[in-house]
Amino acid sequence: MADTTMQSHAWLIPVFPLVSMAAIMLFTHRRRALSAGLSIAAVSLSFLYAWAMAFAVWGNPEAQRFSLEWLDLGASMHLPMGILVDGLTAMMLIVVTTVALMVHIYSLGYMHGDTRYSRYYAYLSLFTMAMLTLVLADNFVLMFVAWELVGLASYLLIGFWFEKQSASDAGKKAFITTRLGDLGFIIGMLMLYAGCGSLTFEGVFGAVKSGALGGAMLTTAAIFLFGGAIGKSAQFPLHVWLPDAMEGPTPVSALIHAATMVVAGVYLVARSLTIFISAETAGMFVAWIGIITSLMAASIGLVQNDIKRVLAYSTVSQLGYMIMALGLQGFTAGTFHLMTHAFFKSLLFLGAGSVIHAVHTNDIREMGGLHSKMKTTSVTFLIAALAIAGIFPLSGFWSKDEIVAATLGHPAFTVLSLIVAFMTAFYMFRLYFLTFTGTPRDQHKFDHAHESPKVMTYPLIFLAFLSVVSGWIGLPWLHHGFSAVVFHEEPHHAEFHYGLAAISLLVGLSGMALAYLMYYRRRINPDRLAASLPGIYNTLLNKYYVDDAYTLLFIQPYYAVCRGWFWFDQHIIDGVVNAAGRFGILWGKSQRWFDETFVDGAVNGVGWLTRGFGGTVRYLQTGSLQNYAFVVFAALVILWILQ
Amino acid sequence: MMEIGLSHYLTLAAVVFCVGVYGMLTRRNAIGVLMSVELMFNAVNVTLVAFARYVTPATVTGQVVAIFTIAVAAAEATVALAIVLLIYQHHRGINVDQVNFMKW
């Protein structure tokens, strides 16, 4: 029995950022430096713990579960809460804490001087806590809770600069769009619960393995469950929120919308691999959604001019890539790419943030020639671009190759994934050449550009290092190296395929070469190419009109219905209320008339009577004392006579 | 010569009292009214002393009451004269016909 102290205390990992969030919110929000320090200290602790535990898990890859009773309603419902520590969790913890730490440090520079600095760090802590909880959960319920919390943090951070209308709209769009997917998640969860009476991973997967849960029920549940992943991981048709989410601060895009939260969907599928192995139809559905998303997003990325949007579409495309691999049962490939992608994509975003920080624009048409001004950013960005393009021996090469290998046996997927690889290499190098090479297209902005402070470049360097080496744990001669740890219970490893590797490398290089010809040597004029294919160009530029279709199909009808109800409310409901009001006024008026005429009449009549009588008898009071005295004596005399 | 008895005193008092009443009811001058009132007081005093002398000669109760009456009349006279003075200052005259502002 190996020592599992590290694993059993893994719940501490999300507790650190939770504490820092609470501390910032409650006590230190007025002291900016202290807030940032607290947040970074907390995530550093999580980072150290996660790495230390990863080594412990590596030595003892047996999955460890630690759970507590949470909700026990007798026979009807039983929900324990707990953590599950295995290779997959450890890998996710490393990815999340590493990227989170880098982003925390980088934000010191990027967010410097922002008015809501402390709040920003509180939100980052909240997100980190939620994401770590998500990957540690040992059941669907806790996972769902964390899933919603990361959605909340994402919403808060996308709309962080809420003074900007577009940012607050983007936050709402992200929140509402992902909520659609979450509905699927809930339905899937309920179906699983109905099928096997448990929501712990252990219970559900056990039931699936034993055959207690299967058939159409399992397939449907799996597809609904995957709905959550479609929302969170921005898959077609719910991918529309992610590009808009770029309104948030760039470090946030790097952390949430590139490396961690958006891979939650991938993680969900990877975690539920038992389900997707059994439900093959659902697996194929997943794979098709993945490749469609991937192709679509990559092709949109070819023509976008906003540096962050290109990266956002790249993220969507790469997520689709991972999802496709998972759907084709390439679980190792998908999770492997998840990890390498987290490093190089967060690096790309942080590099883009560094560029934006320098030139204060997102538009690559106003950049150019920045290599001479910001060497560190340029070089690290180039490394990341090479990694994502799948160039040997960087991390992307190994993971992408595993994905392509996973498509073997499905020729359609193989071809499409190679096309995606080609487009990926092309748009990344288009971005690189337009941003960092050539002549400056906006001299004024170029003159003011400068390299970012060290607090921003050091995270870039560290991530660049990881982008190079993180793929090496998948080296073919380390047999089952990655999968043995990540999927200890079900090792699943696509053989490294030298032929495919060569082809995919070639495809990547040719994508780069085309970008080189078009945007560096200018042998092919991209504008003329766009002009010669107006239909395709405009379709891509308008993102396949998906947003417009949603506006037309859902948003405008919704508004129309709303207007209808508004009319109903204004005229019918308000009409009833107003009629009641008018009746009240009328009734009141009649009552007033009665009151004024009869009640007041009686009162006034009494007063009038008294007054009239008084007016008559007042003449008796002459005011002359002699008259009074005369009356007294006269009365005396009369009384005397009468006596 | 006829002996002077109780009835003589009472007759005198009645005559003086009637003169007082008449004066009080008819005088226009406030001082005159006051003087008439003094006549009525003194008529009463005469009856009191006369009754004391002829009906209860053993005691002096009547005389004592008469002295009280004189004291009270003096006090009353001061108050009344003060009022008359104020009326004079107010109306530039002491004609009681004018003093009808107590009406209503």
The tens digit of pLDDT for each residue in A217-231 reads 889 999 999 999 999
Asked if the Cβ–Cβ distance from A623 to B33 is below 8 Å, we say: no
Q: Is the pLDDT of residue A485 over 80?
A: no
- The runs of H, that is alpha helices, within A374-497 are 375-389, 395-406, 411-436, 443-448, 454-469, 481-486
> Using CA atoms, how far apart are residues A389 and A509, in angstroms rounded to an integer?
8
At position A168, the amino acid (one-letter code) is S
Q: What angle do CA A452, A457, A461 make, to 5 degrees?
A: 155
Distance from first CA to last CA of chain B, Å, rounded? Answer: 58
Percent of chain A with pLDDT over 90: 41
Over the stretch A256-269, which tens digit does the pLDDT of each residue have? Answer: 888 889 999 999 99
Over the stretch B36-88, which tens digit does the pLDDT of each residue have? Answer: 999 999 999 999 999 998 988 888 888 999 999 999 999 999 999 998 898 88
Q: Is the pLDDT of residue A40 over 90?
A: yes
Q: What band does A642 get if pLDDT is binned at 50, 70 and 90?
A: very high
**Is residue A623 less than 8 Å (CB to CB) from chain B?**
yes
Radius of gyration of chain B (CA): 17
Strand blocks (E) in B1-104:
none
In 3D, which of A395, A414, A391, A428 has the Cα closest to residue A508?
A: A391
Least confident piece of the model among A12-16, A254-258, A521-525: A521-525
Average pLDDT over residues A171-196: 90
Closest by Cβ to A633, choosing from B21, B99, B103: B21
β-pair partners for A541: none
Q: What is the 3-state secondary structure (H, E, C) of A116-185?
A: CHHHHHHHHHHHHHHHHHHHHECEHHHHHHHHHHHHHHHHHHHCCCCCCHHHHHHHHHHHHHHHHHHHHH
pLDDT value at residue B82: 94
A642 against A540, higher pLDDT: A642
Q: How close B72 comes to chain A (CA, Å)?
A: 20
Q: Is the pLDDT of residue B104 over 60?
A: no
- Alpha carbon of A123 to those of A22, A129, A152, A159: distances in Å? 10, 10, 10, 11
- Alpha carbon of A629 to those of A227, A426, A606, A636: distances in Å? 113, 130, 34, 11
> Using CA atoms, how far apart are residues A575 and A580, in angstroms rounded to an integer?
8
Average pLDDT over residues A420-436: 91
Q: What band does A447 get if pLDDT is binned at 50, 70 and 90?
A: confident
User: What's the sign of the alpha-carbon dihedral A373, A252, A319, A13?
Assistant: positive
In 3D, which of A574, A337, A376, A343 has the Cα closest to residue A456?
A: A376
At a CB cut-off of 8 Å and minimum separation 6, what does A450 contact? A358, A373, A374
> Using CA atoms, how far apart are residues A161 and A156, in angstroms rounded to an integer?
9
> Using CA atoms, how far apart are residues A618 and A608, in angstroms rounded to an integer?
15
Assigned token pair, A258: 């590139």
At a CB cut-off of 8 Å and minimum separation 6, what does A535 contact? none
Asked if the Cβ–Cβ distance from B104 to A618 is below 8 Å, we say: yes
Q: Is the pLDDT of residue A1 over 60?
A: no
**Is residue A633 less than 8 Å (CB to CB) from chain B?**
yes
Asked if the Cβ–Cβ distance from A626 to B104 is below 8 Å, we say: no
> Using CA atoms, how far apart are residues A451 and A351, in angstroms rounded to an integer?
11
Assigned token pair, A381: 């960005």
Assigned token pair, A226: 């995957």
Q: Taking the C-alpha atoms of A289, A294, A297 and A299 in order, what is their torsion angle to the nearest 10 degrees?
A: -120
Over the stretch A314-354, which tens digit does the pLDDT of each residue have? Answer: 999 999 999 998 888 888 888 889 999 999 999 999 999 99
- CB-hemisphere CA count at 13 Å for A99? 35
Q: How close B73 comes to chain A (CA, Å)?
A: 18
pLDDT value at residue B9: 92
Asked if the Cβ–Cβ distance from A624 to B25 is below 8 Å, we say: no
pLDDT value at residue A439: 82
CB A61 within 8 A of CB A113: no
Q: Is the pLDDT of residue A76 over 80?
A: no
* Best of A611, A626, A628, A632 to mutate (most B CBs within 10 Å, chain B): A626
Q: How close B81 comes to chain A (CA, Å)?
A: 16
Least confident piece of the model among A89-98, A129-138, A476-485, A512-521: A476-485
Chain B residue with the nearest C-alpha to that of A626 = B25
At position B3, the amino acid (one-letter code) is E
Q: Is the pLDDT of residue A479 over 60?
A: no
At a CB cut-off of 8 Å and minimum separation 6, what does A277 contact? A283, A329, A490
At a CB cut-off of 8 Å and minimum separation 6, what does A399 contact? A333, A336, A337, A339, A340, A341, A471, A474
A407 against A104, higher pLDDT: A104
What pTM was computed for the model?
0.75
pLDDT value at residue A489: 56
Give kind and range of the element (H or E) at residue A78. Answer: strand A78-85
Over the stretch A354-408, which tens digit does the pLDDT of each residue have? Answer: 998 888 888 888 888 888 888 889 999 999 999 998 888 888 888 888 888 888 8
In 3D, which of A46, A36, A38, A21 has the Cα closest to residue A127?
A: A21
Q: How close A602 comes to chain B (CA, Å)?
A: 27
Q: How close B49 comes to chain A (CA, Å)?
A: 24
Assigned token pair, A543: 């993102």
Mean pLDDT of chain A: 87
Q: Is the pLDDT of residue A18 over 50?
A: yes
pLDDT value at residue A542: 83
The residue assigned the tokens 């230390």 is A52
Closest by Cβ to A622, choosing from B24, B33, B100: B100
> Using CA atoms, how far apart are residues A283 and A266, in angstroms rounded to an integer?
13
ipTM value for the complex: 0.75
pLDDT value at residue A538: 84
In 3D, which of A358, A396, A398, A399 has the Cα closest to residue A378?
A: A358
- Alpha carbon of A263 to those of A259, A322, A387: distances in Å? 7, 9, 18
Asked if the Cβ–Cβ distance from B21 to A624 is below 8 Å, we say: no
